Chain A
Amino acid sequence: GIQVEQSPPDLILQEGANSTLRCNFSDSVNNLQWFHQNPWGQLINLFYIPSGTKQNGRLSATTVATERYSLLYISSSQTTDSGVYFCAVVAGRRALTFGSGTRLQVQP
């Protein structure tokens, strides 16, 4: 099956800093989603982005499907951005395959 790798596994930032999270995948995909998992475990949809670039406030994402990677940009980070960020893809079967996540800690 498809492999999804996320980097870095852990990231510590000072409030106000910018960051880039990366997601590499091993095969062509029909869907790519970015999620933020909050401390209570809820998965919050950030982007549905099988290709191209999208922006939502301080967050933006770019997927280059031909090169099999996606990037999530967080600008002017806030403490509320802390949590785990997951990349997940659909390839073949119609269900998501998740990466292991990037654990982000934003310090005041």
Chain B
Amino acid sequence: DGGITQSPKYLFRKEGQNVTLSCEQNLNHDAMYWYRQDPGQGLRLIYYSQIVNDFQKGDIAEGYSVSREKKESFPLTVTSAQKNPTAFYLCASSMTGGGTGSYEQYFGPGTRLTVT
């Protein structure tokens, strides 16, 4: 089945530790995205990548890092510099096109990260 997978579903870490969240897609999409959701709020953009080996900061990139070495994979590392890392993290992907065109985004099931 084609889709987006995120692992693990739940993740618990101690304060001061870096943690990496996995996102894999087999939709042959060029673009991938990471969003963060806090309770009762909408999603906010952390990082996005339109093509392999290239990515851009979103609205809340501080304390996070990403890599895009393969088209299918876009892992997110939550570093110890992120002051409030406990949240729900969602990964998405979409096709890309030239000009100002924009394509439908599809989301994975998310990872709930708790840092104590």
A contact residues vs B (CB 8 Å cutoff): 1, 4, 30-31, 33, 35, 40-43, 45, 48, 50, 86, 88, 90, 93-101
Contact = CB atoms under 8 A, between A and B. Distances in A.
Contacts of A98: 35, 42-44
A42 B112 CA distance: 12
A86 B96 CA distance: 22
A25 B41 CA distance: 17
Size bracket, chain B contacts: 20 to 34
A1 B44 CA distance: 13
Contact of B41 (A35, A90, A96, A100): A100
Interface of B: 31, 33, 35, 37, 41-45, 48, 50, 56, 58-59, 88, 90, 92, 94, 96, 100-107, 109-110, 112
A37 B107 CA distance: 11
B51 to A, nearest CB: 11
Contacts of B96: 94
A37 to B, nearest CB: 9
